[in-house]
Amino acid sequence: MAGHPLSKICAICFDAFGTLIDISSIDAFLEERFPGNGSAISLAWRTKQIDYSRLRSLGSRYKPFGEITEDALRASLASLNLDVDRGSIGEIMDQYMKCRVYPDTLEVLENSPTPWAIVTNGDRDFISPILQGAGIGVSNEALITSDQVRDFKVSPRLYELAYVWAQNYQAETKSKVLFVSANQWDAIGATWFGFTTCWINRNSHTPEELDVAPTYEVTHLAQVMELAKEFMC
């Protein structure tokens, strides 16, 4: 487990997509629906989903993340010369809403030694049914979504909203918040903001060259609880 403690941890913030929610759980459906193209669709879809949210953030052209996700799907299918009708798009989006959690997600959340929140680029109308269907229960106050600031990570506005929440739990400095994400860019954005961060590097990706690194690097979500227990307030 790479990294060195900076301070006590009073609250934890988790990213949702790719961190708690396994978005690759739709891959088998995509492969069944488009034989030989499932992996390519999945990769293009996720890449465009992130790219579109970043472009809209940079251009101050907010659009709900659920709509961006559908836009990214249509563009990905077109880029692969796969012609589908509106009904098929709806079918795929319905399946996306049923994405499963990672095997250790529920146990980690249920046994967290500190208060936790979810900080997501998803808008509330989009993410809430996904979380509910996956068995994740979270209060309104602890679900921090992009539509609250009409912007997307890595904009500091969403991290700032998370910090406002964390201050209710003795996190009087940003470093007392542990921000957890399997998306390296998200962990880096939270590091820039001033949070203590943990990057869940499940697939052995190489570090990015951005003059900063997450505080910790682990390979499984369950390892985050070891940090929380060791350095809890």
Cα-to-chain-centroid distance, residue 113? 21
Shared domain check, 158 and 92: no
The size of the chain, in residues, is: 233
Q: Which domain holds residue 43?
A: 23-96
Domain-terminating residue out of 32, 64, 96: 96
CATH number, position 178: 3.40.50.1000
Q: Give the side-chain half-sphere CA count within 13 A for 70.
A: 16
Q: Are residues 209 and 135 in the same domain?
A: yes
- For residue 129, how many C-alpha atoms fall within 13 Å in the half-sphere facing its CB? 9
Q: Where are the alpha helices (DSSP H) in the chain?
A: 27-33, 38-58, 65-79, 86-96, 105-110, 124-134, 156-166, 184-193, 222-231
Domain count, the chain: 2
Taking the C-alpha atoms of residue 107 and residue 44, their distance in angstroms, rounded to an integer, is 31
**Does the residue 159 lie in any domain?**
yes
For residues 112 and 186, membership in a common domain is answered with: yes
Q: Which residues lie across from 12 on neighbouring strands?
A: 116, 178
In the residue annotation, 15 being an active-site residue is answered as: yes
> Last residue of a domain, which of 57, 75, 96?
96
Please report where in the chains the tokens 């739990």 appear, as a residue. Answer: 169
DSSP 172: -
What is the structure's pLDDT at 219?
Answer: 95
Query: 156-166 and 184-193 helices cross at what angle (nearest 10)?
Result: 70
Kindly report the CATH number assigned to the domain that includes residue 87: 1.10.150.240
Same domain, 139 and 76: no
Rounded Cα distance, 16 and 152, in Å: 13
Same domain, 181 and 162: yes
Same domain for 109 and 222: yes
* pLDDT in single tens digits along all 233 residues of the chain: 555 555 789 999 999 999 999 999 999 999 999 999 999 999 999 999 999 999 999 999 999 999 999 999 999 999 999 988 888 899 999 999 999 999 999 999 999 999 999 999 999 999 999 999 999 999 999 999 999 999 999 999 999 999 999 999 999 999 999 999 999 999 999 999 999 999 999 999 999 999 999 999 999 999 998 888 888 78
Q: Looking at the structure, tell me whether residues 184 and 173 fall in a common domain.
A: yes
Tell me which of 15, 123, 151, 186 is the catalytic residue. 15
Per the domain annotation, does 6 fall within a domain?
Answer: no
Is residue 2, in this structure, part of any structural domain at all?
A: no
Q: Which of 63, 96, 129 is the last residue of a domain?
A: 96
65 and 130 in a single domain? The answer is no
How many whole angstroms separate alpha carbon 169 and alpha carbon 205? 33
Q: Do 223 and 131 share a structural domain?
A: yes
**Whether residues 133 and 165 fall in one domain:** yes
Q: Are 30 and 108 found together in one domain?
A: no
* Angstrom distances, CA of residue 148 to CA of 57, 99, 180: 14, 24, 20
Tell me: do 218 and 130 sit in the same domain: yes
Overall pTM > 0.85: yes
Longest dimension (CA), the chain: 54
